[in-house]
Amino acid sequence: MYYIPENYFKIKSINSIYTRNYGKDFYFKGESHGFWEMVYVEKGTLTVAEDENIYELSSGQAIFHAPMEFHRFWAKKTQPATVFKIISFDLDTNMEHNLSKGVFSVTGRLAEMFEDLYIQIENSFEHSIFVSKKENNSPVDEILAFKMLETFLMSVISESSPQYIKDVSLPAQRYA
């Protein structure tokens, strides 16, 4: 008898991909939406609030926002420009995982996997912010992007424990 594993973890869609470069005065008031979102800090620092938790992310760190989780982020006024990459996606899983439990270190092999994934998505789809089918693109390239995202996320889950890096300073003046 052959063993056929159940598909516990499947990317249903890749919704958006983009890179942002912001200065010291950047502030995003926040949002919530019905899909997952990964924010990866490539350079600089970024303060992220999700629900009641506040995290300080620096280069090589990422955070995952679960569907319908309110989140916002801002740059510290004392830090240089921040460069971060965002990928949003729909994930179908009944497997227990820790993706929405804090900040993850994405360094070494994980950083290489992420960069390869980001390039694959950029090359496989039309994108400004939201992705769409690229005319005359090979279906293999699209499937590969989805499988690379699944593999990257599974690697994060299995190789990296979330770090709870709290920043107690809220920019109260920005909530008006």
pLDDT, tens digit, 9 for 90 and up, residues 65-86 = 999 999 999 987 777 668 899 9
* Residue 175, pLDDT score: 41
Whole-model pTM: value is 0.86
Pairing type for strands 61-65 and 36-43 reads antiparallel
* List of the chain residues with pLDDT < 50: 165-176
Structure confidence at residue 61 (pLDDT): 93
**Which tokens go with 107?**
């360094």
